[in-house]
């Protein structure tokens, strides 16, 4: 099969981890007889430096002409001046919005081999296997007004948490469908005791849940969800939340998996499984950022990116066996004891970013 992939490495450790995903894709192509045609595009800080914009038109066209997008990370201290009117992060936000990628799937599982890499006690981690479904194109990230200004009484800033019925309903529906294919449990996260948008969220969650009587639903306040993620993480199956809550909860959840570097994600514009072979392009990225403190040193963990690539194979290309082979390769190198620095607290063999990519690709 021939498939075209837009590769957007971005900034910081983005290019380092994406390079390893490409190695793995090549191994998959060789073993299963596929031709993955890659086209690189600039995005983020390096695009600002080169073109003055974090998302050049060329990159948008490359994405539109591809079957899927493999994204690294964007941002860095050199572009962080609050006075700047363009920011690297605007690049990824604009892609998400323009491609309608409203459903961000962030699976969190604990690899038994890494149970000691987490600061949490092992007894809390057994059986953790959840999917956080984050709404990705609404809420505070995009609501207007969004601005800063100065009045006679000082500086002010505003962001707007706005959701339409349609936006809430479609993400919850994806959540329920995903729960039906899993353990049939869904936690709908909100802050309905304070926020009007959350009261709407809960009302719609109650309505949609009536269509899924087999799914056991829990409506949970976000502050409580943050606590339960640590106290009782194995109780969660599918968690659905609005954009900002999902951003925060998934960084927290990554501690369960041992490291931010482990978590993949898929950003979709329709129900997974139903978009295979459709023209709509989806985006795959690790949940971590650019990690400027370790960028360029060859020590970053590429597994989050590699597992995102497995999600691409499964969800965009319908290549289930290929995706399984990548995930199995990750499992086995972890069991064999290969560790990048972020997951090395339990010993094992410390390897570089590229050595980790090599051992995974060699298992395919
Ligand atoms: C993420 C990141 C992004 C977000 C940033 C880089 C804009 O934190 O994908 O979780 O907040 O969505
Ligand atoms: Mg984040």
What does the mean pLDDT of the chain come to?
96
pLDDT digits (tens, 9 = 90+) for 10-38: 999 999 999 999 999 999 999 999 999 99
Same structural domain for residues 243 and 124?
A: yes
Instruction: Report yes or no on 163 lying in a domain.
Output: yes
Q: How far is the CA of 292 from the centre of ligand 1 (A)?
A: 15
Is residue 226 within 8 Å of residue 190, measured between CB atoms? no
According to the model, what pLDDT value does residue 278 have?
54
Domain stops at, among 257, 280, 302: 257
Same structural domain for residues 84 and 135?
A: no
273 band by pLDDT with thresholds 50, 70 and 90: low
Is residue 73 within 8 Å of residue 285, measured between CB atoms? yes
Same structural domain for residues 195 and 299?
A: no
- The SS3 assignment for 313 reads helix
The more confident residue out of 204 and 275 is 204
Ligand 1: which residue has its CA nearest to atom 7? Answer: 89
Which sequence positions are flagged as catalytic? 141, 191, 223, 247, 251
> How do beta strands 282-284 and 266-268 pair?
antiparallel
* CB of 75 closer than 6 angstroms to any ligand 1 atom: yes
Instruction: Report yes or no on 263 lying in a domain.
Output: no
Instruction: Report yes or no on 167 lying in a domain.
Output: yes
Instruction: Report yes or no on 55 lying in a domain.
Output: yes
- The interaxial angle of helices 165-180 and 196-209, nearest 10 deg, is 40
Phi, psi for 176 (deg, rounded to 5): -65, -40
* CB of 114 closer than 6 angstroms to any ligand 1 atom: no
82 band by pLDDT with thresholds 50, 70 and 90: confident
Same structural domain for residues 122 and 219?
A: yes
DSSP code of residue 111 = -
Same structural domain for residues 249 and 127?
A: yes
Same structural domain for residues 87 and 1?
A: yes
Q: How far is the CA of 92 from the centre of ligand 1 (A)?
A: 8
Domain stops at, among 241, 257, 273: 257
Please say if the pLDDT value at position 274 is more than 70. Answer: no
Same structural domain for residues 129 and 206?
A: yes
* CB of 72 closer than 6 angstroms to any ligand 1 atom: no
From the CA of 91, the nearest ligand is 1
Same structural domain for residues 94 and 140?
A: no
Same structural domain for residues 170 and 247?
A: yes
Instruction: Name the residue range of residue 54's domain.
Output: 1-102+294-364
Same structural domain for residues 246 and 348?
A: no
How many domains are contained in the chain?
Answer: 2
- The CATH number given to whatever domain includes residue 307 is 3.40.718.10
């Amino acid at each position: 099969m021939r498939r075209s992939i837009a590769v957007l490495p971005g900034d910081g450790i983005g290019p380092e981890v994406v390079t390893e995903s490409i190695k793995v894709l090549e191994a998959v192509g060789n073993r299963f007889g596929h031709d993955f045609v890659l086209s690189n595009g600039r995005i983020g800080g390096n695009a600002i430096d080169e073109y003055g914009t974090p998302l050049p038109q060329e990159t948008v066209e490359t994405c539109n002409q591809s079957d899927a997008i493999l994204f690294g990370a964007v941002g860095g201290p050199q572009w962080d001046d609050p006075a700047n009117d363009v920011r690297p992060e605007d690049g990824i936000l604009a892609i998400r919005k323009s491609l309608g990628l409203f459903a961000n799937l962030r699976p969190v599982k604990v690899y038994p081999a890494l149970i000691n890499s987490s600061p949490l006690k092992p007894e809390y981690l057994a059986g953790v296997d959840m999917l956080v479904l984050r709404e990705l194109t609404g809420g505070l990230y995009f609501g207007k007004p969004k601005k800063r200004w100065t009045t006679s009484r000082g500086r002010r800033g505003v962001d707007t948490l706005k959701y339409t019925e349609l936006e809430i309903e479609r993400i919850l529906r994806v959540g329920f469908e995903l729960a039906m294919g899993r353990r049939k449990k869904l936690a709908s996260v909100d802050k309905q005791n304070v926020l009007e948008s959350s009261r709407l969220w809960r009302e719609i969650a109650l309505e949609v849940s009536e269509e899924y009587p087999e799914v056991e639903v829990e409506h949970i306040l976000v502050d409580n969800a943050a606590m339960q993620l640590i106290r009782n993480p194995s109780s969660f199956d599918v968690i659905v939340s609005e954009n900002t809550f999902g951003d925060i909860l998934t960084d927290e959840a990554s501690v369960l998996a041992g490291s931010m570097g482990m978590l993949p994600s898929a950003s979709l514009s329709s129900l997974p499984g139903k978009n295979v072979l459709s023209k709509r392009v989806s985006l795959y990225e690790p949940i971590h950022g650019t990690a400027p403190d370790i960028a360029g040193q060859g020590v970053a963990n590429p597994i989050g990116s590699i597992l995102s690539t497995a999600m691409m194979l499964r969800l965009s290309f319908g290549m289930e066996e290929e995706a399984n082979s990548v995930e199995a390769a990750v499992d086995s190198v972890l069991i064999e004891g290969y560790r990048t620095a972020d997951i090395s607290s339990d010993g094992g063999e410390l390897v570089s970013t590229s050595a980790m990519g090599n051992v995974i690709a060699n298992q395919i």
